[in-house]
Structure 1
Amino acid sequence: IIKSGEALEKMGKVDTIAFDKTGTLTYGRLEVSDLLSFDDALDENGLLSLAASAEAKSEHPLGKAIVSCAKARNVKLSESETFQMTAGRGVSANVSGRQLLCGNERYLKENGVVLTEPVRAALARLREQGKALVLAAEGARCIGVIALSDTLRPEAAKMIRRLNAMRTKTVLLTGDHQKTADYFASRVGIEEVRAELLPEEKVAAIARLQSENRTVCMIGDGINDAPALKCADVGAAMGSMGSDIAVEAADIALMNDDLSNIPYLKRLSDAAVHTIKLSILLSMCINFLAVALSVMGLLNPTTGALVHNAGSCLVVFIAALLYDRKFDMPPDAGSA
């Protein structure tokens, strides 16, 4: 759904498209794949119980996936108190008298948590596999790591190749760790990666691209993407899986979540801009010609009015040619 003609016109001028990762390049169907406890008193289910209890009130996809895993395993959850969520970082909560932190590595370090060598080694290994990580901490020590896996959309790599063939720059903007971001970027063919970004840092990254005289489209799906969608020249949200806030903030909603529509949308917008320019040029030429003929006495008022209306009909006809038009997609850049 393209919400306005202005959005369609701006999309035709876009030369850079920035993508979020989770829920955009991937399906966003996160599943817990690894539960690593670094507390001798905690087994896997014990770690899952604490983390899920802390995340129970979270709206973040990672938190929801952890809670879903706990419920699927019939792990008992405890009521959390003093719940506080920090966007782009994690949550803190008091669970059964234990003050817990659950979030990314940056969040834990900001709160004075020290990561031991075994924890750092586990993080490096899991990131090499492209997994999203949630660290759990109590006090100043990390008590566990929960890894979540996601599946790359099969059309993502082909879509990026087509955009590259159309000379459209692609950028990955994500809150994930650099290694995780690099893993997914390498699989789809995105060369420019900016990782470990908070929501406000995504906005700054968009603004930086715009300062380079680039017209930027941002494509995302989550609550954290809404500010960046608003900041971009054109914001596009994944419609069926995306958050209501992201869809509301966007200029375009991809209702079937099919990334292969992005190159088509770019081609359609390019054609719309070309048609607008052609229509304006033809309309001006017809009007100037009619004025010149009228001045020379070769065109009476009645005929002039007919010529003017004929020009308007021509403009409408040219615009109507875009309806249900099929666009040939460029061959994949780098394909045989």
Structure 2
Amino acid sequence: MSNRNTNLSEEEMKTYRVQGFSCTSCASTFEKNVKELPGVQDAKVNFGASKVSVQGKTTIEELEKAGAFENLKVRDEKEQKIETEPFWRQKETIKVYLSALLLVVSWGLAAQLGEEVLLPKVGYAASILIGGYSLFIKGVKNLSKLQFDMNTLMTIAVLGAAIIGEWGEGATVVILFAISEALERYSMDKARQSIESLMDIAPKEALIRRGNEEMIVHVEDIQINDIMIVKPGQKLAMDGMVIKGTSTLNQAAITGESVPVTKTIEDEVFAGTLNEEGLIEVKVTKRVEDTTLSKIIHLVEEAQAERAPSQAFVDKFAKYYTPVIVILAFLIAVMPPLFGGDWSEWVYQGLAVLVVGCPCALVVSTPVSIVTAIGNAAKNGVLIKGGIYLEETGALKAIAFDKTGTLTKGVPAVTDIVNFSGNEDDLLLITAAIEKGSQHPLASAILRKAEESGLRYNEVSVEDFQSITGKGVKAKVNNQIYYVGSPKLFEELHENLETDRRKKINDMQTQGKTVMVLGTEKEILSFFAVADEMRESSKDAIGKLNNIGIATVMLTGDNYRTAEAIGKQAGVSTIKADLLPEDKLNLIKELRDNHNSVAMVGDGVNDAPALAASTVGVAMGGAGTDTALETADIALMSDDIRKLPYTIKLSRKTLAIIKQNITFSIAIKVLALLLVIPGWLTLWIAIFADMGATLLVTLNALRLLRVKDK
């Protein structure tokens, strides 16, 4: 029964990829057309990722009919990209060639015979019809529904030019508009290439062994627990776990790190990574749609659909701006002639205002920047979950780091054991038996030390285990209650510590070690000093962040001396220690009050409240944990915080480019409109202002592809 329901829900909501979108208004029209198809309950177009999700029953043929106005090509989400004809060989472009040829011939005839002769006018009219046929059909349809988009405005302008006798300019406008649209489409496709290239990273089939038989199997048909055989020089098709062999894998596609990583038995490996040296056998652990690479692609595409705050402003502005321009153009065309002006001259000015008024450049300025930046980040191993987080990262003033597992490797080891009573092995055995039930990262160091010493702590009976939040644990072993925790816990239990013991603790803490104490309500039995190694990348990353004016703060539950030793080594500007989980949360809120925009960097699990309270939550090592991918606003796919300065650089550059694009788009329109006052605005200037602005904002946004991770 459950299978049937699953199939039904899959049938109801299906996603298709679309080729040919050039502007957001075309995407909106397509979405509207799809919603009107029989059998379709709802549809949602993702312009950034060039996808449409359809609820209900329909076919690819029906969807392509809905997109015929823009000659859109639709394919199933899982199908390979359709290789389209090159731009210069497309049917629409051939029409432009023919139209341009007729225009040039008509110009020549007009120069020889004069503009008033019928033959050049016939040539201009033919040029307009051939080059603008599809434009007119869309424009007239929109006009009948009182929808004023680029096609409507251009149709009115060209027909108006023909009516007042400006045939040559009308034909030129049609050709320049067609060229502009084609170049826009090319630019958007270029911006989307980052994601298209991610899709092509993993092979579509793999060599699989089932039982004693080896076969080439398509990824869709590979099952969990299949054995995948990967030879040197091949890419992995699926996520899995190495069960035989050792090799180095280049994981750049997933983590952005080009330095190969050694993988051996029981290590996790990802689809899309390159096996460089040895033959390995991998047990498949995920279906193709659940692989880390698939999740990255899905999350990035969803991110590209998320509207950034600047885009929401632009869309709202364009909504009111276009009708205002139509009214303004009408007034310019009609009012001066009513007071004695020349009808032909002012109608011409009004038509030029219509062309200038198209908000294409303004509307495309933000999405093309967001799509390009998020795609670039994904290729460099940084997953940004939406335009809003991209913009907020660009505005960050402070970044808070969790210490353990973020600035440090998170693999602590016991460095010193100081005994005050009893046998060292016996005390280590009791401590390990109690810490077995603890979730604290330092507990693992005690357990590893006990294993190295050959102590069987699993066989020790532990009763009445209880966690003391932020301080330690207590439990009963052999009818004696023991406490394991921080020195602070024993200061509370014993009221104060003896001078020599306090000095010993201070000495070890000054060396950057964390001290854990084993004792009873009456006496201290043993000290365990545990140290966590600093990541090589931390100092470099913190230095770069300090240099670009970001306040760096380290948050830790450790004591202040240990925190200071690590903090000074890393170079953070502020150290906050002895923190309980709620203290971290309160500190993030305090930082937000002081700095307005704050990021929190953690592992995505233990630091969930602080990550949620920050402006931007950044999770480490997203490649290995689904939690990090799902909960964070930004996931660093590798365990390398050196990706943070790159992310901030990219975000700041994106913000700058969006501001430049919006300013330029509005400025060029205002400048062109001001030319109406002396009567200098022509259809030529109008179309060049519109086309030029659109191309320049798109090319400016494509500069984001060049931001490198250095």
Q: Distance in 1 between matches of 2:637 and 2:472?
A: 29
Q: Structure 2 vs 1, CA of residues 240 and 144 (structure 1 numbering), >3 Å: closer, same or farther?
A: farther
Q: Secondary structure at the match of 2:663?
A: helix
Picking from 230, 236, 239, the partner of 2:618 is: 236
The 2-side partners of 1:242 and 1:179 are apart by 32
CA contact 2:622–2:629 (8 Å) conserved in 1: no
| Structure with more relative contact order (C-alpha pairs < 8 Å, separation 6 or more) | 1
Counterpart of 1:35? 417
Match of 1:73 among 434, 453, 476: 453
Q: 1:275 aligns with which of 637, 648, 657?
A: 657
Aligned to 2:566: 184
In the alignment, is the contact (CA less than 8 A) between 1:18 and 1:171 conserved in 2? yes
Deviation per CA, 1:148-191: give whole Å up to 9, x if none: 12211222222222222212111221111111111112222223
- Give 2:700's aligned residue: 318
Report if aligned partners of 1:17, 1:218 keep a CA contact under 8 Å in 2: yes
- Report percent identity of matched pairs: 36
Match of residue 583 from structure 2: 201
Structure 1 residue 12, shift from structure 2 partner: 0.7
Q: Which moved more, 1:265-274 or 1:111-120?
A: 111-120
Task: Compare CA radii of gyration and give the structure with the larger one.
Answer: 2
Distance 2:429 2:634 in 1: 39
Q: Does 1:48 align with 2:428?
A: yes
Identify the match of residue 211 of structure 1 among 593, 596, 606.
Answer: 593
* Residues 86/243 of structure 1: CA separation in 2 closer, same or farther (3 Å cut): farther
Amino acid aligned to 2:592 = Q
Instruction: Please list, as runs of the form range in 1=range in 2, the aligned pairs for 1:132-211 lying within 5 A after superposition.
Output: 132-211=514-593
| 1:13 positional shift | 0.6
Q: Which deviates more, 263-272 or 140-149? A: 140-149
Q: Which residue of 2 aligns with 1:60?
A: 440
Q: TM-score, normalised by structure 1?
A: 0.85
User: Structure 1 residue 17: deviation in Å?
Assistant: 1.5
Shift of 1:303: 9.2
Could you tell me whether the CA contact under 8 Å between 1:115 and 1:142 is conserved in 2? Answer: no
Task: Report the 3-state secondary structure (helix = DSSP H, G, I; strand = E; otherwise coil) of the residue aligned with 2:707.
Answer: coil
Q: Which moved more, 1:201-210 or 1:239-248?
A: 239-248
- What is the DSSP-based 3-state SS (H/G/I as helix, E as strand, rest coil) of the residue aligned with 1:323? helix
Q: Is the 8 A contact 2:515 2:529 kept in 1?
A: yes
Give yes or no for contact 1:290–1:299 (8 Å, CA) kept in 2: no
Deviations 1:104-125 (A, max 9, x none): 2233444556533333122111
Letter of the structure 2 residue corresponding to residue 169 of structure 1: A
- Retained in 1: the 8 A contact 2:646–2:708? no
Taking structure 2 as the reference length, the TM-score comes to 0.42
Tell me, yes or no, if the aligned pair for 2:600 and 2:611 is still in contact at 8 Å: yes
Change (3 A) 1:22 1:242: farther
Find the residue that maps to 2:536 and give its secondary structure: coil
2:467 alignment partner in structure 1: 85
Is the CA contact 2:604–2:632 (under 8 Å) kept in the aligned structure 1?
Answer: no
- Following superposition, the deviation at residue 323 of structure 1 comes to 1.7
Greater shift, 307-316 or 87-96, is seen at 307-316
Amino acid of the structure 2 residue aligned with 1:51: T
Local SS of the residue matching 1:102: strand
Q: 1:115 to 1:241 in 2, by over 3 A?
A: farther
Aligned length in residues: 325
Q: Which amino acid aligns with 2:442?
A: L
Moved more, 96-105 or 167-176: 96-105
* Runs (5+) with no aligned partner, structure 1: 330-336
CA distance in 2 between partners of 1:120 and 1:220 (Å):
32
Quote how far apart the aligned CAs of 1:270 are: 0.9
Letter in 2 for 1:19: F
Distance in 1 separating the partners of 2:628 and 2:430:
30
Q: Aligned letter for 2:558? A: D
CA 1:244–1:145 in 2, change beyond 3 Å: closer, same or farther? farther
1:129 corresponding residue in structure 2: 511
Do the aligned partners of residues 280 and 226 (structure 1) sit closer, same or farther apart at CA in structure 2, a change above 3 Å counting? Answer: same
AA in 2 matched with 1:58: S
Query: How far apart, in 2, do the equivalents of 1:241 and 1:71 lie?
Result: 29
- Closer, same or farther: CA 24–203 of 1 in aligned 2, 3 Å: same
Question: Secondary structure of the residue that 1:229 maps to in structure 2?
Answer: helix
CA distance in 2, matches of 1:317, 1:87: 55
Q: Which runs of 5+ in 2 are unaligned?
A: 1-382
Separation in 1, partners of 2:694, 2:545: 35
Q: Which moved more, 1:238-247 or 1:208-217?
A: 238-247
Is the Cα–Cα contact under 8 Å of residues 567 and 575 in structure 2 kept in the other structure? Answer: yes
Partner of 1:107: 489
**1:24 alignment partner in structure 2:** 406
| CA distance in structure 2 between the aligned counterparts of 1:125 and 1:303, rounded to whole angstroms | 77
Root mean square deviation, CA, Å:
2.8
CA distance in 1, matches of 2:650, 2:551: 18
1-side partners of 2:690 and 2:506: how far apart?
Answer: 70
Q: Counterpart of 1:212 in 2: which secondary structure? A: helix
SS class of match (2:417)? strand
Question: For residues 17-40 of structure 1, what are the alpha-carbon distances to aligned partners after superposition, in whole Å with 9 as ceiling and x for unaligned?
Answer: 2222111111111111112222x2
- Report if the CA contact (8 A) 1:91-1:102 is conserved: yes
